[in-house]
Amino acid sequence: MSEAKQMKYEKPDSGERVDEGGTTMKFRPVLHALTANPGADMMDYARKKQNIITLGQGEGDAPTPDFICDATMEAMKSGRTFYGPVLGQERLRQSLSNYYDRIYNLDISPERVFVTGSGSTAMHLSLAALVDKGEEVIAVTPIWKNLIGAIELTQATTKQVSLDYIDDEWKLDLEKLFGAVNERTKVMLIVTPSNPTGWTATEDELRQILDFARERGIWVLSDEVYGRLVYEGVRAPSFLDVAKEDDLLLVVNSFSKTWAMTGWRLGWIVGPKEAESKIRDVALYNKLCPPDFIQFGAMAALDQGEDFLKSQLDLWRSNRDIVVERFKKMGNVHLSYPKSTFYAFFKVDGEEDCIALTKRLIDEAGVLLSPGSAFGESSKGYIRLCFAVSEARLTEALDRIERVIAPKG
Protein backbone atom coordinates (compact mmCIF):
# COMPACT_ATOMS: atom_id res chain seq x y z
CA MET A 1 0.00 0.00 0.00
CA SER A 2 1.36 3.44 -0.93
CA GLU A 3 2.29 6.02 1.70
CA ALA A 4 -0.57 8.28 0.54
CA LYS A 5 -3.12 5.51 1.01
CA GLN A 6 -1.70 4.66 4.42
CA MET A 7 -2.07 8.28 5.55
CA LYS A 8 -5.73 8.52 4.63
CA TYR A 9 -6.54 5.63 6.96
CA GLU A 10 -4.01 6.42 9.69
CA LYS A 11 -5.28 9.99 10.05
CA PRO A 12 -9.09 9.80 9.85
CA ASP A 13 -9.51 13.17 11.60
CA SER A 14 -7.26 15.08 9.20
CA GLY A 15 -10.19 16.01 7.03
CA GLU A 16 -9.34 13.47 4.33
CA ARG A 17 -12.18 11.24 3.13
CA VAL A 18 -12.41 8.69 0.34
CA ASP A 19 -15.32 8.73 -2.11
CA GLU A 20 -16.82 5.66 -3.78
CA GLY A 21 -14.30 5.87 -6.61
CA GLY A 22 -11.35 5.77 -4.24
CA THR A 23 -10.46 9.46 -4.63
CA THR A 24 -9.12 11.16 -1.52
CA MET A 25 -11.17 14.28 -0.67
CA LYS A 26 -9.81 16.88 1.72
CA PHE A 27 -12.29 18.99 3.63
CA ARG A 28 -11.94 21.03 6.80
CA PRO A 29 -12.23 18.80 9.88
CA VAL A 30 -14.88 21.15 11.29
CA LEU A 31 -17.28 20.02 8.56
CA HIS A 32 -17.01 16.42 9.74
CA ALA A 33 -17.50 17.58 13.34
CA LEU A 34 -20.82 19.36 12.73
CA THR A 35 -23.53 17.93 14.94
CA ALA A 36 -26.58 16.33 13.33
CA ASN A 37 -29.56 18.41 12.23
CA PRO A 38 -32.63 16.28 13.04
CA GLY A 39 -35.01 18.86 11.60
CA ALA A 40 -33.33 18.83 8.19
CA ASP A 41 -33.06 15.03 8.33
CA MET A 42 -36.79 14.76 8.98
CA MET A 43 -37.60 16.98 6.01
CA ASP A 44 -35.47 14.71 3.82
CA TYR A 45 -37.35 11.69 5.19
CA ALA A 46 -40.73 13.28 4.45
CA ARG A 47 -39.79 14.16 0.86
CA LYS A 48 -39.96 10.50 -0.03
CA LYS A 49 -43.61 10.29 1.08
CA GLN A 50 -46.86 11.21 -0.63
CA ASN A 51 -49.69 13.50 0.55
CA ILE A 52 -47.68 15.15 3.32
CA ILE A 53 -48.97 18.24 5.14
CA THR A 54 -45.84 20.22 6.00
CA LEU A 55 -45.91 22.08 9.31
CA GLY A 56 -42.24 21.48 10.05
CA GLN A 57 -40.70 24.60 8.53
CA GLY A 58 -40.90 28.12 9.90
CA GLU A 59 -43.05 29.75 7.26
CA GLY A 60 -46.66 30.30 6.39
CA ASP A 61 -48.46 29.43 3.19
CA ALA A 62 -49.35 33.02 2.20
CA PRO A 63 -47.41 34.25 -0.85
CA THR A 64 -45.45 37.48 -0.71
CA PRO A 65 -47.90 40.41 -1.13
CA ASP A 66 -48.26 41.98 -4.57
CA PHE A 67 -47.07 45.42 -3.48
CA ILE A 68 -43.69 43.92 -2.54
CA CYS A 69 -43.43 41.88 -5.74
CA ASP A 70 -44.47 44.86 -7.88
CA ALA A 71 -41.82 47.13 -6.36
CA THR A 72 -39.19 44.45 -6.92
CA MET A 73 -40.18 43.80 -10.53
CA GLU A 74 -40.22 47.53 -11.28
CA ALA A 75 -36.70 47.80 -9.88
CA MET A 76 -35.57 44.90 -12.08
CA LYS A 77 -37.18 46.42 -15.17
CA SER A 78 -35.51 49.77 -14.45
CA GLY A 79 -32.08 48.12 -14.46
CA ARG A 80 -31.38 47.61 -10.73
CA THR A 81 -29.60 44.32 -11.51
CA PHE A 82 -25.99 45.34 -10.90
CA TYR A 83 -23.69 45.18 -7.89
CA GLY A 84 -24.71 47.41 -5.02
CA PRO A 85 -23.15 48.62 -1.77
CA VAL A 86 -21.77 45.85 0.47
CA LEU A 87 -24.06 46.68 3.40
CA GLY A 88 -27.11 47.63 1.37
CA GLN A 89 -28.55 50.63 -0.40
CA GLU A 90 -28.48 53.87 1.58
CA ARG A 91 -32.19 54.24 0.84
CA LEU A 92 -32.98 50.90 2.51
CA ARG A 93 -30.74 51.63 5.47
CA GLN A 94 -32.60 54.93 5.90
CA SER A 95 -35.94 53.12 5.54
CA LEU A 96 -34.94 50.74 8.33
CA SER A 97 -33.90 53.70 10.47
CA ASN A 98 -37.33 55.26 9.84
CA TYR A 99 -38.98 51.92 10.65
CA TYR A 100 -37.30 51.78 14.06
CA ASP A 101 -38.42 55.35 14.72
CA ARG A 102 -42.01 54.65 13.66
CA ILE A 103 -42.56 51.18 15.20
CA TYR A 104 -40.03 51.02 18.05
CA ASN A 105 -39.79 54.72 18.93
CA LEU A 106 -36.00 54.38 18.72
CA ASP A 107 -33.41 56.65 17.14
CA ILE A 108 -31.23 54.24 15.16
CA SER A 109 -29.03 56.02 12.63
CA PRO A 110 -28.64 54.43 9.15
CA GLU A 111 -24.91 54.01 9.82
CA ARG A 112 -25.82 51.43 12.48
CA VAL A 113 -27.92 49.31 10.10
CA PHE A 114 -26.16 46.68 7.97
CA VAL A 115 -28.26 44.96 5.28
CA THR A 116 -27.41 41.31 4.63
CA GLY A 117 -28.44 38.52 2.28
CA SER A 118 -30.84 36.89 4.82
CA GLY A 119 -31.21 36.74 8.58
CA SER A 120 -29.14 33.54 8.57
CA THR A 121 -26.37 35.38 6.75
CA ALA A 122 -26.62 38.15 9.32
CA MET A 123 -26.00 35.58 12.05
CA HIS A 124 -23.04 34.04 10.20
CA LEU A 125 -21.47 37.45 9.55
CA SER A 126 -21.95 38.45 13.19
CA LEU A 127 -20.37 35.29 14.55
CA ALA A 128 -17.52 35.43 12.03
CA ALA A 129 -16.78 38.97 13.21
CA LEU A 130 -16.96 38.16 16.93
CA VAL A 131 -15.65 34.70 17.79
CA ASP A 132 -12.68 32.50 17.02
CA LYS A 133 -11.52 28.98 17.66
CA GLY A 134 -11.26 28.20 21.37
CA GLU A 135 -13.68 30.94 22.43
CA GLU A 136 -17.15 30.26 23.79
CA VAL A 137 -20.70 31.25 22.89
CA ILE A 138 -23.44 30.81 25.49
CA ALA A 139 -26.71 30.04 23.71
CA VAL A 140 -30.09 30.14 25.41
CA THR A 141 -32.01 27.05 24.28
CA PRO A 142 -34.29 25.69 22.88
CA ILE A 143 -32.92 27.36 19.77
CA TRP A 144 -33.06 26.87 16.01
CA LYS A 145 -30.42 24.30 15.06
CA ASN A 146 -28.98 26.47 12.28
CA LEU A 147 -27.74 28.95 14.86
CA ILE A 148 -25.82 26.23 16.68
CA GLY A 149 -24.40 25.13 13.33
CA ALA A 150 -23.26 28.68 12.61
CA ILE A 151 -21.34 28.69 15.90
CA GLU A 152 -19.79 25.31 15.12
CA LEU A 153 -18.47 26.59 11.79
CA THR A 154 -16.48 29.29 13.61
CA GLN A 155 -14.86 26.50 15.69
CA ALA A 156 -15.98 28.24 18.86
CA THR A 157 -17.51 26.17 21.64
CA THR A 158 -21.24 26.31 22.35
CA LYS A 159 -22.48 26.18 25.94
CA GLN A 160 -26.23 25.62 26.08
CA VAL A 161 -28.30 27.18 28.86
CA SER A 162 -31.89 26.01 28.72
CA LEU A 163 -35.05 27.87 29.51
CA ASP A 164 -37.01 26.19 32.30
CA TYR A 165 -40.51 24.81 31.71
CA ILE A 166 -42.47 25.63 34.87
CA ASP A 167 -46.29 25.56 35.25
CA ASP A 168 -46.76 25.42 31.47
CA GLU A 169 -44.58 28.49 30.93
CA TRP A 170 -41.05 28.85 29.59
CA LYS A 171 -38.88 30.97 31.85
CA LEU A 172 -35.27 32.17 31.84
CA ASP A 173 -33.22 31.70 35.02
CA LEU A 174 -30.83 34.65 34.88
CA GLU A 175 -28.65 33.22 37.66
CA LYS A 176 -28.17 30.06 35.63
CA LEU A 177 -27.35 32.12 32.53
CA PHE A 178 -24.86 34.34 34.32
CA GLY A 179 -23.34 31.37 36.15
CA ALA A 180 -22.44 29.78 32.81
CA VAL A 181 -20.06 32.64 31.93
CA ASN A 182 -16.35 32.01 32.27
CA GLU A 183 -13.08 33.52 31.04
CA ARG A 184 -13.53 32.05 27.55
CA THR A 185 -17.04 33.45 27.04
CA LYS A 186 -17.11 35.92 24.16
CA VAL A 187 -20.81 36.07 23.23
CA MET A 188 -24.21 35.45 24.76
CA LEU A 189 -26.72 34.45 22.08
CA ILE A 190 -30.38 35.18 22.89
CA VAL A 191 -33.38 34.57 20.61
CA THR A 192 -36.35 36.67 21.70
CA PRO A 193 -39.14 36.00 20.89
CA SER A 194 -37.98 32.41 20.92
CA ASN A 195 -38.16 29.91 18.11
CA PRO A 196 -39.53 27.37 19.06
CA THR A 197 -41.00 28.12 22.51
CA GLY A 198 -42.56 31.55 22.02
CA TRP A 199 -40.84 32.75 25.20
CA THR A 200 -40.15 36.48 25.09
CA ALA A 201 -37.73 38.32 27.35
CA THR A 202 -39.11 41.19 29.38
CA GLU A 203 -37.50 44.60 29.18
CA ASP A 204 -36.17 44.12 32.71
CA GLU A 205 -34.56 40.80 31.74
CA LEU A 206 -32.98 42.42 28.68
CA ARG A 207 -31.61 45.22 30.83
CA GLN A 208 -30.13 42.82 33.37
CA ILE A 209 -28.50 40.71 30.65
CA LEU A 210 -27.01 43.75 28.93
CA ASP A 211 -25.79 45.25 32.22
CA PHE A 212 -24.10 41.97 33.09
CA ALA A 213 -22.47 41.68 29.65
CA ARG A 214 -21.38 45.33 29.64
CA GLU A 215 -19.59 44.95 32.97
CA ARG A 216 -17.60 41.98 31.63
CA GLY A 217 -16.93 43.12 28.08
CA ILE A 218 -19.04 40.31 26.57
CA TRP A 219 -20.94 40.70 23.32
CA VAL A 220 -24.69 40.13 23.22
CA LEU A 221 -25.96 38.71 19.93
CA SER A 222 -29.74 38.99 19.81
CA ASP A 223 -31.90 37.25 17.21
CA GLU A 224 -35.10 39.33 17.02
CA VAL A 225 -36.48 37.91 13.79
CA TYR A 226 -39.85 37.24 15.48
CA GLY A 227 -40.03 40.66 17.15
CA ARG A 228 -43.20 41.70 15.32
CA LEU A 229 -44.96 38.34 15.68
CA VAL A 230 -46.64 39.11 19.00
CA TYR A 231 -50.31 38.80 19.87
CA GLU A 232 -50.45 41.69 22.32
CA GLY A 233 -49.05 45.07 21.41
CA VAL A 234 -47.16 46.10 18.28
CA ARG A 235 -43.81 44.46 18.92
CA ALA A 236 -41.75 42.59 21.50
CA PRO A 237 -39.24 44.28 23.80
CA SER A 238 -35.84 44.67 22.12
CA PHE A 239 -32.31 44.87 23.45
CA LEU A 240 -32.19 48.15 21.54
CA ASP A 241 -34.71 49.55 24.05
CA VAL A 242 -32.15 49.33 26.86
CA ALA A 243 -28.86 49.67 24.96
CA LYS A 244 -26.35 52.45 24.57
CA GLU A 245 -25.09 53.24 21.07
CA ASP A 246 -21.62 51.86 21.79
CA ASP A 247 -22.69 48.69 23.62
CA LEU A 248 -21.22 45.37 22.49
CA LEU A 249 -24.55 44.42 20.95
CA LEU A 250 -25.53 43.07 17.54
CA VAL A 251 -29.24 42.62 16.81
CA VAL A 252 -30.13 40.31 13.91
CA ASN A 253 -33.41 40.63 12.02
CA SER A 254 -35.04 39.51 8.79
CA PHE A 255 -37.79 40.33 6.31
CA SER A 256 -38.74 36.65 6.07
CA LYS A 257 -41.39 36.06 8.73
CA THR A 258 -43.04 39.46 9.06
CA TRP A 259 -43.81 40.01 5.38
CA ALA A 260 -43.92 36.44 3.94
CA MET A 261 -40.51 36.81 2.29
CA THR A 262 -38.79 33.60 3.40
CA GLY A 263 -37.49 32.78 -0.09
CA TRP A 264 -36.21 36.28 -0.76
CA ARG A 265 -33.28 35.96 1.67
CA LEU A 266 -32.83 39.48 3.01
CA GLY A 267 -32.02 40.53 6.55
CA TRP A 268 -30.18 43.12 8.57
CA ILE A 269 -28.02 43.76 11.62
CA VAL A 270 -28.15 46.70 14.01
CA GLY A 271 -24.90 47.36 15.84
CA PRO A 272 -22.59 50.11 17.06
CA LYS A 273 -21.21 52.44 14.38
CA GLU A 274 -17.72 51.05 15.07
CA ALA A 275 -18.90 47.63 13.89
CA GLU A 276 -19.78 48.86 10.39
CA SER A 277 -16.31 48.48 8.90
CA LYS A 278 -15.79 45.04 10.45
CA ILE A 279 -19.13 43.65 9.30
CA ARG A 280 -18.39 45.12 5.86
CA ASP A 281 -15.02 43.34 5.79
CA VAL A 282 -16.66 39.99 6.50
CA ALA A 283 -19.60 40.58 4.13
CA LEU A 284 -17.29 41.64 1.30
CA TYR A 285 -15.78 38.15 1.16
CA ASN A 286 -19.05 36.36 1.80
CA LYS A 287 -21.67 37.50 -0.70
CA LEU A 288 -20.23 40.90 -1.74
CA CYS A 289 -23.63 42.60 -1.50
CA PRO A 290 -27.34 41.86 -1.10
CA PRO A 291 -29.28 41.83 -4.40
CA ASP A 292 -30.09 45.40 -5.37
CA PHE A 293 -33.58 44.90 -6.81
CA ILE A 294 -34.81 42.88 -3.82
CA GLN A 295 -34.07 45.86 -1.58
CA PHE A 296 -36.79 47.86 -3.33
CA GLY A 297 -39.29 45.18 -2.38
CA ALA A 298 -37.97 45.41 1.17
CA MET A 299 -38.56 49.15 1.24
CA ALA A 300 -42.13 48.56 0.09
CA ALA A 301 -42.56 46.00 2.90
CA LEU A 302 -41.38 48.49 5.51
CA ASP A 303 -43.50 51.34 4.18
CA GLN A 304 -46.71 49.50 3.25
CA GLY A 305 -46.65 46.20 5.12
CA GLU A 306 -48.54 46.89 8.34
CA ASP A 307 -51.99 45.90 7.05
CA PHE A 308 -50.64 42.64 5.65
CA LEU A 309 -48.91 41.82 8.94
CA LYS A 310 -52.11 42.54 10.87
CA SER A 311 -54.12 40.17 8.66
CA GLN A 312 -51.50 37.46 9.16
CA LEU A 313 -51.49 37.93 12.93
CA ASP A 314 -55.29 37.69 13.00
CA LEU A 315 -55.09 34.32 11.23
CA TRP A 316 -52.25 33.05 13.38
CA ARG A 317 -53.99 34.14 16.59
CA SER A 318 -57.07 32.17 15.61
CA ASN A 319 -54.95 29.18 14.57
CA ARG A 320 -53.05 29.29 17.86
CA ASP A 321 -56.30 29.01 19.80
CA ILE A 322 -57.44 26.11 17.62
CA VAL A 323 -54.19 24.22 18.29
CA VAL A 324 -54.24 24.90 22.04
CA GLU A 325 -57.90 23.84 22.34
CA ARG A 326 -57.43 20.65 20.30
CA PHE A 327 -54.38 19.57 22.29
CA LYS A 328 -56.06 20.45 25.57
CA LYS A 329 -59.03 18.21 24.72
CA MET A 330 -56.69 15.27 24.07
CA GLY A 331 -55.53 15.50 27.68
CA ASN A 332 -52.08 14.02 27.11
CA VAL A 333 -50.38 16.95 25.38
CA HIS A 334 -48.46 19.66 27.23
CA LEU A 335 -47.55 23.07 25.82
CA SER A 336 -47.32 26.68 26.84
CA TYR A 337 -49.86 29.16 25.46
CA PRO A 338 -47.88 30.91 22.69
CA LYS A 339 -47.87 34.68 23.17
CA SER A 340 -45.58 35.23 20.19
CA THR A 341 -44.26 33.47 17.06
CA PHE A 342 -46.37 30.96 15.11
CA TYR A 343 -45.19 27.76 16.79
CA ALA A 344 -46.65 25.26 19.23
CA PHE A 345 -43.84 23.46 21.07
CA PHE A 346 -45.46 20.49 22.74
CA LYS A 347 -44.81 17.20 24.51
CA VAL A 348 -46.95 14.04 24.52
CA ASP A 349 -47.23 11.84 27.61
CA GLY A 350 -45.25 8.63 27.22
CA GLU A 351 -43.48 9.81 24.05
CA GLU A 352 -39.90 10.53 25.09
CA ASP A 353 -38.32 9.78 21.70
CA CYS A 354 -39.27 12.78 19.57
CA ILE A 355 -37.44 11.40 16.51
CA ALA A 356 -39.51 8.21 16.60
CA LEU A 357 -42.73 10.14 17.16
CA THR A 358 -42.03 12.58 14.34
CA LYS A 359 -41.39 9.67 11.96
CA ARG A 360 -44.62 8.01 13.08
CA LEU A 361 -46.52 11.20 12.35
CA ILE A 362 -45.04 11.24 8.84
CA ASP A 363 -45.70 7.53 8.23
CA GLU A 364 -49.10 7.19 9.91
CA ALA A 365 -50.58 10.69 9.72
CA GLY A 366 -48.89 12.21 6.71
CA VAL A 367 -47.86 15.29 8.71
CA LEU A 368 -44.34 16.70 8.91
CA LEU A 369 -43.40 18.38 12.19
CA SER A 370 -39.99 19.17 13.62
CA PRO A 371 -38.44 17.05 16.42
CA GLY A 372 -37.48 18.88 19.59
CA SER A 373 -33.97 17.43 19.53
CA ALA A 374 -33.30 19.84 16.66
CA PHE A 375 -33.51 22.69 19.17
CA GLY A 376 -31.05 21.70 21.86
CA GLU A 377 -29.99 19.16 24.43
CA SER A 378 -32.85 19.88 26.83
CA SER A 379 -35.78 19.60 24.41
CA LYS A 380 -35.44 16.06 23.10
CA GLY A 381 -38.96 15.03 24.07
CA TYR A 382 -40.70 17.94 22.36
CA ILE A 383 -42.21 18.51 18.91
CA ARG A 384 -42.58 21.83 17.06
CA LEU A 385 -45.67 22.57 14.96
CA CYS A 386 -45.89 25.67 12.76
CA PHE A 387 -49.48 26.94 12.63
CA ALA A 388 -48.89 29.78 10.12
CA VAL A 389 -51.10 28.13 7.50
CA SER A 390 -54.73 28.29 6.42
CA GLU A 391 -57.31 27.17 8.96
CA ALA A 392 -58.43 24.37 6.64
CA ARG A 393 -54.89 23.04 6.27
CA LEU A 394 -54.27 23.25 10.00
CA THR A 395 -57.55 21.51 10.87
CA GLU A 396 -56.80 18.64 8.50
CA ALA A 397 -53.31 18.27 10.00
CA LEU A 398 -54.68 18.25 13.56
CA ASP A 399 -57.27 15.62 12.63
CA ARG A 400 -54.49 13.41 11.30
CA ILE A 401 -52.23 14.04 14.31
CA GLU A 402 -55.03 13.26 16.76
CA ARG A 403 -55.55 9.83 15.22
CA VAL A 404 -51.94 9.00 16.12
CA ILE A 405 -51.32 10.61 19.50
CA ALA A 406 -54.72 10.88 21.22
CA PRO A 407 -55.27 8.39 24.08
CA LYS A 408 -56.98 5.24 22.91
CA GLY A 409 -60.21 4.06 24.46
pTM equals 0.92
Evaluate whether the domain defined by 38-64+307-405 bears CATH number 3.90.1150.10. Answer: yes
How far, CA to CA in Å, does 381 sit from each of 35, 144, 312, 318? 18, 15, 30, 26
Strand 219-223 to 249-254 pairing: parallel
Q: How far apart are CA 209 and CA 255, in angstroms?
A: 26
- Tell me if 15 sits within 8 A of 29, measured CB to CB: yes
**Nearby residues of 208 by Cβ (< 8 Å), 6 or more positions away:** 174
* Annotation: CATH topology of 66-306: Aspartate Aminotransferase; domain 2 (3.40.640)
* pLDDT for position 388: 98
Domains 38-64+307-405 and 66-306 equal at CATH topology level: no
Reduced 3-state DSSP string for the chain = CCHHHHHHHHCCCCCEEECCCCCEEECCHHHHCCCCCHHHHHHHHHHCCCCCEECCCCCCCCCCCHHHHHHHHHHHHCCCCCCCCCCCCHHHHHHHHHHHHHHHCCCCCHHHEEEECCHHHHHHHHHHHHCCCCCEEEEEECCCHHHHHHHHHHCCEEEEEECEEECCEEECCHHHHHHCCCCCEEEEEEECCCCCCCCCCCHHHHHHHHHHHHHHCCEEEEECCCCCCECCCCCCCCHHHCCCCCCCEEEEEECCCCCCCCCCCCEEEECCHHHHHHHHHHHHCCCCCCCHHHHHHHHHHHHHCHHHHHHHHHHHHHHHHHHHHHHHHHCCEEECCCCECCEEEEEECCCCCHHHHHHHHHHHHCEECEEHHHHCHHHCCEEEEECCCCHHHHHHHHHHHHHHHCCCC
User: For residue 325, how many other CB atoms are within 10 A of its CB?
Assistant: 10
Whether residue 294 contacts residue 256, with contact meaning beta carbons closer than 8 Å, is answered with no
The amino acid at 109: S
What are the extents of the domains in the chain? 38-64+307-405, 66-306
Kindly list the distances between the CA atom of residue 262 and the CA atoms of 299, 328, 375, 397, in Å, as whole numbers in the listed order.
16, 31, 20, 22
Residues in the chain: 409
Tens digit of pLDDT at every position of the chain (409 positions): 444 444 343 344 545 555 555 555 788 889 988 999 999 999 999 998 999 999 999 998 999 999 999 999 999 999 999 999 999 999 999 999 999 999 999 999 999 999 999 999 999 999 999 999 999 999 999 999 999 999 999 999 999 999 999 999 999 999 999 999 999 999 999 999 999 999 999 999 999 999 999 999 999 999 999 999 999 999 999 999 999 999 999 999 999 999 999 999 999 999 999 999 999 999 999 999 999 999 999 999 999 999 999 999 999 999 999 999 999 999 999 999 999 999 999 999 999 999 999 999 999 999 999 999 999 998 999 999 999 999 999 999 999 999 999 998 6
CA-based nearest residue to 220, from 192, 256, 254, 261: 192
The partner residues of 171 in beta bridges, in order of sequence, read 164
The count of C-alpha atoms lying within 13 angstroms of the C-alpha of 139, restricted to the half-sphere facing its C-beta, is 28
